[in-house]
Structure 1
């Protein structure tokens, strides 16, 4: 068995020349081996092409000739495919992957002849779902029975909870000294690819770039090595992550993993595409999953799902940080959005002038919050605490009214906000996703309406400068980017995750380079 999880880059180019070039790039990027996908070659000549690909290979090779019926490109009969794979074995390929459905026939075809340093991978792919733990266990036994040296099972995550079953089976295989590749496809299954070394997976796949995937949900090898620090992940690594839907845009993994690495903290921070928060938290209840950031749309559900909630988070009605208490495993909810956003706005108003820090510059100001979700509640609560007159504007008036009643403020619809200018020098905070990539041309408020505001804050930080901020600056307002709130709330989370002081200058440097 491998002592550590191997990193394999799939080669999916259309020509042998491109594959050789990609193989060299894979080696330069730190791959342990490459998967040569023969089914992707447009004019494949087995004798000539395999000789070229394998003779002077710069990395160990896993040769796959995947048929259409198992998610590949090959549409012919099995015999030419078998012959090409047999030839790959003769030419010294370290691994060949054959599908379970025809594995017995293939083993008979090669007459059981396998060189000493060769491993036969027998694989099963399920593009619809992930079976039960029992069914997966039974599948492992069937794959072993046909003579596999390495078991490979790839399933599809309908829900992120599905991945936990694959982890269970990999751990069980490792205990029985059975080498296993267990991966769960789709964006909900990404953690199966990143956390392989924690649970004992034989190898994981990382693509050369985002456009060269051979299965849904594959990260790039650069992300595996440089964002997730996969070489440092082991059985004792703590898992943190960002729970959201969507979650792919989050810069949290880049920020937290680099910060963990800088202080030598044995942890990894991963994206967690979660549909149902309660199901996720009950599934990943082991101490290994030690804490989470929580974003749209789960911040309010987290208040209910946590065993205990910090009084400020309870008052806001939204949790953005969940910590699993080591002593008893209870989930404790906090809100770091509140401090992060309000301090960013206060510093924006103060600018470089040193003023009496005991009196908030928000005191007595009209503070307009767009959005009545988790972040909106945090901003509204924070502004009220600082003595501001709070106005909530929301597409749905009922939600705006509900929040306004909760904190003692005024409610408007977004349409009414266009003509709301009782005074000059107001403060505006957008807490909705309006203007977030990819819809970067959207804005919650017209440029004309922005003239009444002295400061405009936008919680959206992808892109760094939203249309709202650009037009606010053109209208003469001070602007505060969502990146500032992001940095400050992330520092608060980091300190809760690790019990250590956040490396502020490093975190600011990372965010500024995103």
Structure 2
């Protein structure tokens, strides 16, 4: 079998941006798409039949026409005659026309649209009724029928109700070893497979422009977070696991660093609501595809589960009762936590002296416990603060620290406060009585400032935001997973 994925450093893939909103609001994304000579897919079922001549004024790549029906995840509900008329009209102006197998592959349509202009597509998006597309034999049979129709490209999209289902399209790609078939899943862990598919021969990666957030990643993230359109050699896969990780900037930081030092790795999002099962399935499945899972980052609420999964645990992870990094070793998974080092490292880089500080950590989840453990290692004994008493008292017993309920917390008693809850848009405690030399560390990060950072800067307090902590934490995660030093994470100011 020809390996299309690992040993050809010259391979590239095409990026296709599905236009699901007004093109006038997508100028920035279209510019990015043009930089990589990507194609624009017009979702005519959503945006209507746009003027292709006007689109060509803004798009340097090919134009793709898609009139996706409701059974294919689209919204077109017209008659068969209306559908045929629109497809045939589009064929005179678009470079590629997506034809749904069976519905559109009639003798009249095939006579009017030549093979080089066809994308023959099948969507098995019913979680209950799509079982024929969920196993490899069923998917191979489906493709065999599709391949009877000559086309430039073939597209198969399944619905994944589990991590095991999400791996099936990747297994199909590996077994076919063709360069004209794209296959992936939507649903559970689907994004991971969509992004890995080009290393198994898929010629296309689909992103999205405009419209509401959907299954496809925004095209700007697809271009900025991954090496596309290049498909460089990959020897090991890493990932970030959580319930919702699609907006995480960790893939951008890790993948940018891999490219900078020539490391053959790929960092992917692994979205799941069943971490333990998904991690085990993905580890076994990816290894079977030739891409061993070398490790990953865990975000809440999976930091305690990551600790249970490991055969060996670092001292910092054991003391905080949570892990945010798993690394594969010869004897199994080793659990680490970088939370202590992110907070203490950010304080050190800012020149904040810890000696003599009276500290409090607000939030007793994995991040809060890690921050408290880090302060303890450097001679600061923090007080733990939490809204819920059960988690707060459990953390206090684990770390041997005092616990104060949030409603009894007096911020003015402390000169160092670490906020380690996920709350971004409200203040959990007041800042009015804080001394001017108080330092605040706020762990949440995002495109907008948190309420705490905004209020602290307004009062001209010393504040370290989540970005600074993130960069230091990611650099340590990078070294744990790869054994290599990350290029200076503080030079990655664009990573926001």
TM-score scaled to structure 2, two decimals? 0.83
Match of 2:392 among 391, 397, 400: 400
Residue of structure 2 in register with 1:34 after alignment: 40
Give the secondary-structure state (helix, strand or coil) at the position aligned to 2:268.
strand
Residue of structure 2 in register with 1:165 after alignment: 168
Q: Deviations over 1:11-68 (max 9, x none)?
A: 45679xx799999858623244333444446478xxxx67998999954443333334
Residue of structure 2 in register with 1:510 after alignment: 492
Task: Tell me by how many angstroms 1:392 deviates.
Answer: 0.9
Provide the rounded CA distance (Å) in 2 between the counterparts of 1:375 and 1:478: 21
Closer, same or farther in 2 for the Cα pair 1:384/1:19, shift >3 Å?
closer
Residue of structure 2 in register with 1:109 after alignment: 108
Give the secondary-structure state (helix, strand or coil) at the position aligned to 2:215.
coil
Match of 2:139 among 136, 140, 143: 136
The answer on whether the counterparts of 2:34 and 2:61 sit within 8 Å (CA) in structure 1 is no
The 5 Å alignment of 1:373-388 reads 373-388=365-380
Residue of structure 2 in register with 1:343 after alignment: 345
Provide the rounded CA distance (Å) in 2 between the counterparts of 1:494 and 1:20: 34
Give the secondary-structure state (helix, strand or coil) at the position aligned to 2:103.
helix
1:153 maps onto 2:156 in alignment: yes
Mean CA deviation greater in 198-207 or 451-460: 451-460
Provide the rounded CA distance (Å) in 2 between the counterparts of 1:40 and 1:249: 24
Closer, same or farther in 2 for the Cα pair 1:305/1:23, shift >3 Å?
closer
Provide the rounded CA distance (Å) in 2 between the counterparts of 1:19 and 1:467: 29
Residue of structure 2 in register with 1:494 after alignment: 478
Task: Tell me by how many angstroms 1:387 deviates.
Answer: 2.5
Closer, same or farther in 2 for the Cα pair 1:125/1:404, shift >3 Å?
same
The answer on whether the counterparts of 1:321 and 1:334 sit within 8 Å (CA) in structure 2 is yes
Match of 1:5 among 13, 20, 28: 13
The 5 Å alignment of 1:4-83 reads 4-12=12-20, 28-40=34-46, 42=48, 59-83=61-85
Q: Deviations over 1:449-479 (max 9, x none)?
A: 5449722211122257433234345556432
The answer on whether the counterparts of 2:328 and 2:334 sit within 8 Å (CA) in structure 1 is yes
The answer on whether the counterparts of 2:13 and 2:230 sit within 8 Å (CA) in structure 1 is no
The answer on whether the counterparts of 1:451 and 1:476 sit within 8 Å (CA) in structure 2 is no
The answer on whether the counterparts of 1:428 and 1:453 sit within 8 Å (CA) in structure 2 is no
Give the secondary-structure state (helix, strand or coil) at the position aligned to 1:345.
helix
Give the secondary-structure state (helix, strand or coil) at the position aligned to 1:193.
helix
The answer on whether the counterparts of 1:291 and 1:324 sit within 8 Å (CA) in structure 2 is yes
The answer on whether the counterparts of 1:23 and 1:34 sit within 8 Å (CA) in structure 2 is no
The answer on whether the counterparts of 1:133 and 1:168 sit within 8 Å (CA) in structure 2 is no
Q: Deviations over 1:95-137 (max 9, x none)?
A: 332223425xx33224667646344513224154774324433
Provide the rounded CA distance (Å) in 2 between the counterparts of 1:496 and 1:20: 39
Task: Tell me by how many angstroms 1:195 deviates.
Answer: 2.0
The answer on whether the counterparts of 2:396 and 2:403 sit within 8 Å (CA) in structure 1 is yes
The 5 Å alignment of 1:239-388 reads 239-285=237-283, 286=287, 287-325=291-329, 327=330, 330-348=332-350, 350-351=351-352, 361-363=353-355, 365-388=357-380
Closer, same or farther in 2 for the Cα pair 1:235/1:127, shift >3 Å?
farther
Give the secondary-structure state (helix, strand or coil) at the position aligned to 1:184.
strand
The answer on whether the counterparts of 1:121 and 1:151 sit within 8 Å (CA) in structure 2 is yes
Q: Deviations over 1:233-260 (max 9, x none)?
A: 3463532222223324422122222222
Give the secondary-structure state (helix, strand or coil) at the position aligned to 1:136.
helix
1:480 maps onto 2:464 in alignment: yes
Task: Tell me by how many angstroms 1:232 deviates.
Answer: 2.9
Give the secondary-structure state (helix, strand or coil) at the position aligned to 2:239.
strand
Residue of structure 2 in register with 1:358 after alignment: none
Q: Deviations over 1:60-104 (max 9, x none)?
A: 443333334433343332134224434555x4855332223425x
Residue of structure 2 in register with 1:229 after alignment: 227
Closer, same or farther in 2 for the Cα pair 1:498/1:55, shift >3 Å?
closer
Residue of structure 1 in register with 2:194 after alignment: 193
Provide the rounded CA distance (Å) in 2 between the counterparts of 1:249 and 1:319: 21
Closer, same or farther in 2 for the Cα pair 1:71/1:477, shift >3 Å?
closer
Mean CA deviation greater in 77-86 or 190-199: 77-86
Provide the rounded CA distance (Å) in 2 between the counterparts of 1:454 and 1:56: 52
The answer on whether the counterparts of 2:52 and 2:94 sit within 8 Å (CA) in structure 1 is no
The answer on whether the counterparts of 1:495 and 1:501 sit within 8 Å (CA) in structure 2 is yes
Unaligned runs of 5+ in 2: 5-10
Q: Deviations over 1:461-498 (max 9, x none)?
A: 22574332343455564322222221111111122233
Closer, same or farther in 2 for the Cα pair 1:307/1:76, shift >3 Å?
same
Provide the rounded CA distance (Å) in 2 between the counterparts of 1:94 and 1:199: 25
Closer, same or farther in 2 for the Cα pair 1:462/1:7, shift >3 Å?
closer
RMSD: 3.7
Give the secondary-structure state (helix, strand or coil) at the position aligned to 1:231.
coil
Closer, same or farther in 2 for the Cα pair 1:512/1:478, shift >3 Å?
farther
Task: Tell me by how many angstroms 1:408 deviates.
Answer: 1.8
Provide the rounded CA distance (Å) in 2 between the counterparts of 1:275 and 1:43: 38
Provide the rounded CA distance (Å) in 1 between the counterparts of 2:319 and 2:20: 53
The answer on whether the counterparts of 2:421 and 2:444 sit within 8 Å (CA) in structure 1 is yes
Provide the rounded CA distance (Å) in 2 between the counterparts of 1:394 and 1:97: 54
